[in-house]
Amino acid sequence: MRPMAQIAMVMNLDKCIGCHTCSVSCKEAWTDRQGMEHVWFNNVETRPGQGYPRRYEDQERWRGGWRLNRRGALKPTAGGRLRKLAGIFSPPELPATEDYEEPWTYDHTNRAGAPAHGDLDPVAERARRQASDKVRNEFEQTFMFYLPRICEHCLNPSCVASCPSGAMYKRAEDGVVLVDQDRCRGWRMCVTGCPYKKVYFNDRTGKAEKCTLCAPRIEAGLPTVCSETCVGRLRYLGVVLYDADKVTAAASVPREQDLYEAQLDVFLDPEDTRVRRACEAAGIPDDWLAAARRSPVHALISKYRVALPLHPEYRTMPMVWYIPPLSPVVEALTETGHDGEDARNLFGAIDALRIPLEYLAEMFTAGDVGPVRSALERLAAMRSHMRAVNLGEDPDPSVSAAVGMGVYEIEEMYRLLSVAEYADRYVIPTAAVGDARRLEESALTQGCSLDYEGGPGSGGDGPFGRGSGRKLLPLTPVEKFHILGERRTADHTADVEET
């Protein structure tokens, strides 16, 4: 066993209203500068739809992620070292500007939704082949939901494996995947290698850039900007422990439908005494172990098993998971005059959901409908049980038993999904202030490779935002981030001493 810790995220799709507040706040914080006009580290997609960039899920075209060779070993879909060496001076397979779309003014006539563009959705294409009578794009049969997306910060990132210069790396302390701007040489193979197309090329600086999971905020124990500004409170952040020795084997299971369970087996139980001893021996700090025990992400993924990975068939072991949407079932039942909160009605209606289970399964479980149905049934049982509690009725214990949960578990899951407070949704251990200060001093003395005379890092509109040169933008001390974190959890802002 080789335990490691990872900061992971879960998003509850039942709560997303598609307002794009997360996207706009991320844009302002990270990509509001020249060369990044087309870049959205966080974007919200309407499903079914083509996604961003268009049809990014079509790996026959983009060749992202991993595949198994004839010997059953993992190989990048884009090709191994010899293939990359042979084409190192030719442009890799990249989305064009029109795939990202240039800025535009919304036109309701020419930019219709799913009825016009649903046929172009790669997931719908695969689901339609399996259930042609369930996935239709006529207006009266249209279904939709919103899917927020960021970098998956995978356990087995194909973007890191694709980088010839070694600029892409996964941090050992928290699992965040980053780009070393000094080492990046602009080969762009990481863009091809990422199956989620969440690595972007800045043609102004000639460097690759991507979501950092708001690393400076995470180090100070603060949630990401997209999480902080989400009006639906649908995002959860926490620590997940996993066995690094099992990652390759889990990503190499022959059947794609087994990848979900294989990734679950990689995760470690922080309550297990043997796991805790191994973590202590591996040097994982005590506060990280404590955070792992309180982690809402671990609870939703491994304990309650209502969160699912996005496209596990890419074999990257993604670490941003999703709770599938249940709301359309309740609404559809209510419109027919039935009790939309009754467990018996809900369980029977899940298979008749306007969003076909096959479509959700193609997104979250490589086509295996079982885990999707199980997650929706648990959400339905929670909704029915809590309706009885709120009405002062005696809950039927058979409802929770039908989904393999106890009454206490149902109510605990409800508290986490519905009424969790700030400190329960974001359980993030802080980095050591001393280490952060050392890194800041190193940056001040060494500078950046973009800080040459007249270069994009020498002042003005540089690579880190407007006026981002060292002469104009002093580094913010990490203590300031800790003060902000205390402000968010203090009863009165006056109780926090300003420094």
Length of the chain, in residues: 499
pLDDT value at residue 474: 46
- What per-residue confidence (pLDDT) applies to 456? 43
DSSP E strands in 310-443: the ranges are: 320-323
Q: How high is the pLDDT of residue 34?
A: 87
Mean pLDDT by 10 residues, the chain (499 residues): 95 94 94 89 91 89 90 87 74 83 54 54 66 49 83 96 93 94 92 95 93 93 94 95 96 96 97 95 93 96 96 96 81 60 64 77 94 93 90 88 92 94 93 52 48 43 41 49 62 51
- Strand 3-12 to strand 320-323: parallel, antiparallel, or no bridges (unpaired)? parallel
For residue 109, the model assigns a pLDDT of 53
pLDDT of the residue at 80: 77
Stated as kind and residue range, the H or E segment containing 141 is none
pLDDT at 489: 60
Residue 127: per-residue pLDDT: 63
pLDDT at 111: 47
Phi, psi of 363 (to 5 degrees): -85, -40
For residue 123, the SS3 value is: helix
Domain boundaries, the chain: 1-102+114-431, 451-495
Q: What is the pLDDT of residue 457?
A: 40
Render the burial of 196-233: b for 16+ CB within 10 Å, e for the rest.
bbbbbbbeebebbbbbbbbbebbbbbbbbbbbbbbebe
Q: Which CATH class is domain 1-102+114-431?
A: alpha beta
pLDDT value of position 93: 82
pLDDT at 353: 65
Residue of 183, 189, 9, 231 lying closest to 83 (CA atoms): 189
